[in-house]
Structure 1
Amino acid sequence: MTVPPEPEGHDSRHCGARKRQGEGTCTRPAGWGTDHAGHGHCKLHGGSTTDQGKAARAAKAEAQARTALATLDVQPVDNPLVALRLLAGQAVAWQEALAACVNRLGDRFRYEGLAGGEQLRSEIALYERAMDRCGQILGLIAKLNIDERLAAISEQQADVVIAAIDAALAHAGINGPAAAEAKRVAAHRLRSV
């Protein structure tokens, strides 16, 4: 489905198709007389054709997505590991929700389309995409060795705490076997958390 580019200077509020008679472009409202009013060509310039309808609905969805994106309050990601784990959780939840939809279909995985041909249910396609996305995200997590990195971070934090305990013991005048035992107990406790 290839839609020709709009003429330069085209106002998206208008049909914009080249006039068949005379010069210039159509100034009817975009999508006039079609099921996609506000987007695409009017019904007199092919706006009711399947391809034009699909293109106009896609353009409308893109415009709505751009509007929604412009209103988002985007915050920087301070900890990408946490953000990736959250994304993985959302992807798995979405995949599980779609699995429930597919399970409710029973054996009705296919249906007869408008042209009479057999079509795969959209729920199946969405479920397959969700499984692929989950695989990609979880594969990315595995490639990043997140568990090892988190363990290394925990070890570093434990070392900092032990160093602080050691400094506090030295400041309090506790040294020798009592200080060594206190550090051993603190280290054991920190590593078991």
Structure 2
Amino acid sequence: MHRGGARAPHAAGRVVTAEHCTARRRDGKRCRSAPVHGAAVCRMHGGAAPQVRAAAAERALDADVRRAIGRLEVAPCDNPLEALAELAGEVLAWKDQLGRLVADLRSVRYDSEGYGEQVRGEVLLFERAMDRCAKVLGLIARLDLDARLSRVSEQQADLVVAAVQAALDTAGVTGDRASEARAVAARHLRAVPDVGVTG
């Protein structure tokens, strides 16, 4: 008897494991062939079908991503508006890269033996990327993101100027020296990207 239940004795004396195809042969016995990566069945039992291969590839990718996420050091998102703007840039870059791949194709379709004409994966990914771009850019347009980011930057600048003024007051700095200190702080803030300061 095998421990853990991972392997079970086969009627012919061989063992069938979880790594075997889950389909059964015509004689009713479990198939002993290896399944297609990410799928539960082998090529002879439907694993070679385009839809099965596509689903298997998606499951395998999902498993890889989940493993990668498990190793990530996740930090809180302090500025969701800025993060959304960065996401839009990444989505656009991905769409443009796929567009270049599609432009280099000689044909957007290919003949699959036994399954007829199929659309190339690059084309499907490009179409999906365009849909994602439309969604993200539509969300940004509805949020009026540029104006919101500008207001956030102005608020941050106001907080810094108020902190400088409080420090000057505490130090007893007044008159021309206080004005000069505020001007220096304003010049430094103008040099910081996305932070607007007036005065």
* TM-score greater than 0.5 by the shorter chain: yes
Partner of 1:127: 126
Partner of 2:91: 91
Q: Please, what TM-score do these two structures have when normalized by structure 2?
A: 0.62
Tell me which of 45, 48, 66 is aligned to 1:47: 45
Cα distance 1:77–1:135, how it changes in 2: closer, same or farther (>3 A)? farther
Cα distance 1:54–1:11, how it changes in 2: closer, same or farther (>3 A)? farther
Q: CA RMSD in A?
A: 4.0
Cα distance 1:186–1:153, how it changes in 2: closer, same or farther (>3 A)? farther
Partner of 2:140: 141
Matched to 1:26, the amino acid is R
Matched to 1:66, the amino acid is A
Partner Cα distance (2:136, 2:115) in 1: 38
Secondary structure, aligned partner of 2:104: helix
Report which stretch shifted further, 115-124 or 84-93: 115-124
Instruction: After TM superposition, list the pairs within 5 Å mapping 1:1-193 onto structure 2.
Output: 12-18=18-24, 20-21=26-27, 26=30, 28-31=32-35, 36=36, 39-42=39-42, 47-48=45-46, 51=49, 54-55=51-52, 58-59=55-56, 61-63=58-60, 65-72=62-69, 73-74=71-72, 75-79=74-78, 80-105=80-105, 108-111=106-109, 113-114=111-112, 120-175=119-174, 178=176, 181-182=179-180, 185=183, 189=187, 190=189, 191-192=196-197
- Which consecutive residues of structure 2, in runs of 5 or more, have no partner in the other structure? 1-15, 190-195
Partner Cα distance (1:67, 1:116) in 2: 28
Partner Cα distance (1:163, 1:149) in 2: 21
Once the two structures are superposed, residues 25-49 of structure 1 have per-residue CA deviations (whole angstroms, 9 ceiling, x without a partner) of: 5152443xxxx37843357xx5157
CA contact (8 A) 1:110 1:120 kept: yes
- Which consecutive residues of structure 1, in runs of 5 or more, have no partner in the other structure? 1-9
Partner Cα distance (1:11, 1:81) in 2: 50
Q: Please, what TM-score do these two structures have when normalized by structure 1?
A: 0.63
Count residues in correspondence: 173
Matched to 1:28, the amino acid is R
